Structure 1
Amino acid sequence: MFKRFAHLRVLTLLAGLLLASACTAQSSTAPYTEGNEYVTLPAPQQRLSSEGKVEVVEVFSYGCIHCAQFAPAAEKLRKQLPAGVAFKLLPAPFSAEWLPFARAYYAAKQLGVVERTHMALFDAKFAQHFPINSMDELADFYAREGVDRAEFMRIATSPEATAKLKEDLALIQKWQVDGTPTIVVNGKYRVATVHSYDEMVAVTQWLVKRELAGK
């Protein structure tokens, strides 16, 4: 199995942070099998949002080099998804070191700049080797991208961002995600044992087709 996961470490920095199957029948011609390439979650339909589209959620972190390596394939997947499917990002606050990256994503999303900064941040950190780890360093990066630095810091460190951290970590735990990058399809399926990023994409597309057919 190819190594793609950054392992979960229980987050202790925020004292108030919430921590805490029915098998699908398989055709003999199904290319992927329950318990191998994907798993059915024990509490299905734990979705990121209430919109009616099928959801493809990537649990990721800007601090994860495997996520940086997967990012081009994830972007290609996002653009190839059919109508009726929404691709979403969910930052994982798996350690104190990753907290600033999650907060940065919430701020970037609220400011409407994720589309143009998502790949750029991976590139700056892992390809250009800029020292981007702290909130101040992240604020400097977004400022270079034309974002108001003070407003970025205000949003990223706000009580609303902290509440979002709690909410998202609880959902990640319900999905039994313990590493990044991980794909969850419609709150029902988690892509599991794969041997390449291309296979991760292929399993995701197959699960999406199943969900669309079910609707």
Structure 2
Amino acid sequence: MFKRLSLLFVGLALTAACSARPADGAATYTEGQQYVATTTPQRLDPKDGKVEVVEVFSYGCIHCAHYESYAEALQKQLPKGVTFRVVPAAFNDAWLPYAQAYYAAQKLGVAQKAHAALFKAIHTDHYPIHTIDELADWYATNYGVDKAKFVALATKDDGIRQRILADGKLIQGWGIDGTPTLVVNGKYRSAQIKDFDELNGVAKYLVDKELKGGK
């Protein structure tokens, strides 16, 4: 799966069909092209009755770093009451520390405020942040967390270990093998997307579809 990630948006940009637009100017998208039904329909939070948008990402993914400002914009554009969540993908050993770090940061209450900054540190500033130790140093320096506690949570906390395993099963059930991917209500995921504006457009289209009862 990993070998496809770095070429994901290059390939999709070449193969994606342009979205048709009706007379009112609103974009419309086609199932099987810009989005597909998930392999196993399942919400991230089955207990929350709100329409749910989930971004599957990794701090190790440069495309996710480039998408982050678009993700922030999307959250502001979603209708009131629609929830936006993120799930860190651990497709390989290199990405596992990023998933562990995300959940350790979440438990320590700094995940949200550090999210965009960590993308910048890795992909813009090119800091060597790859291991749990390096990630713990970064969170400690920039957000004042206790390094030893961070490392212990990331590597030894059973709740985090179980969460990452559950995420892996969920991502597999959604049929995802590249990032960033958006999933709406566990039923649909983005597919052949030509750019990030279209990715957000597909998400809003699917949210509207779900708000109308799937029609």
Match of 1:147 in 2: 145
Match of 1:193 in 2: 192
Distance, in Å, in 2 between the alignment partners of 1:76 and 1:185 is 17
Q: Secondary structure of 2:183's partner?
A: strand
Match of 1:78 in 2: 75
Distance, in Å, in 1 between the alignment partners of 2:183 and 2:114 is 23
Deviation at 1:160, TM superposition (A): 1.8
Gaps of 5+ in 1: 9-27
Q: Secondary structure of 1:131's partner?
A: coil
Amino acid at match of 1:33: T
Match of 1:19 in 2: none
Amino acid at match of 1:35: G
Q: Give the alignment of 1:41-52 within 5 angstroms.
A: 41-44=38-41, 46-49=42-45, 50-52=47-49
How many residues align? The count is 192
Q: Secondary structure of 2:56's partner?
A: strand
Distance, in Å, in 2 between the alignment partners of 1:124 and 1:110 is 21
Length-normalised TM-score, structure 1 = 0.84
Distance, in Å, in 2 between the alignment partners of 1:85 and 1:159 is 30
Contact 1:5 1:181 in 2 (8 A): no
More helix by share: 2
Distance, in Å, in 1 between the alignment partners of 2:187 and 2:209 is 11
Gaps of 5+ in 2: 9-20
Deviation at 1:81, TM superposition (A): 1.3
Q: Secondary structure of 2:168's partner?
A: helix
The yes-or-no answer on 1:54 pairing with 2:51 is yes
Distance, in Å, in 2 between the alignment partners of 1:57 and 1:159 is 23
Match of 2:183 in 1: 184
Q: Secondary structure of 1:214's partner?
A: coil
Match of 1:13 in 2: none
Distance, in Å, in 2 between the alignment partners of 1:95 and 1:6 is 13
Percent of paired sites with the same residue: 54
The yes-or-no answer on 1:92 pairing with 2:79 is no
Amino acid at match of 2:65: A
Match of 2:11 in 1: none
Distance, in Å, in 2 between the alignment partners of 1:113 and 1:74 is 18
Q: Secondary structure of 1:96's partner?
A: coil
Contact 2:52 2:185 in 1 (8 A): yes
Q: Secondary structure of 1:39's partner?
A: strand
The yes-or-no answer on 1:122 pairing with 2:147 is no
Which consecutive aligned stretches of 4+ in structure 1 deviate over 3 angstroms post-superposition?
A: 4-8
Length-normalised TM-score, structure 2 = 0.84
Match of 1:159 in 2: 158
Contact 1:71 1:119 in 2 (8 A): yes
The yes-or-no answer on 1:5 pairing with 2:5 is yes
Distance, in Å, in 1 between the alignment partners of 2:212 and 2:52 is 14
Contact 1:132 1:138 in 2 (8 A): yes
CA RMSD of the aligned region, Å? 1.9
Distance, in Å, in 2 between the alignment partners of 1:117 and 1:195 is 28
Distance, in Å, in 1 between the alignment partners of 2:209 and 2:29 is 12
Deviation at 1:214, TM superposition (A): 1.0
Q: Give the alignment of 1:103-122 within 5 angstroms.
A: 103-122=100-119
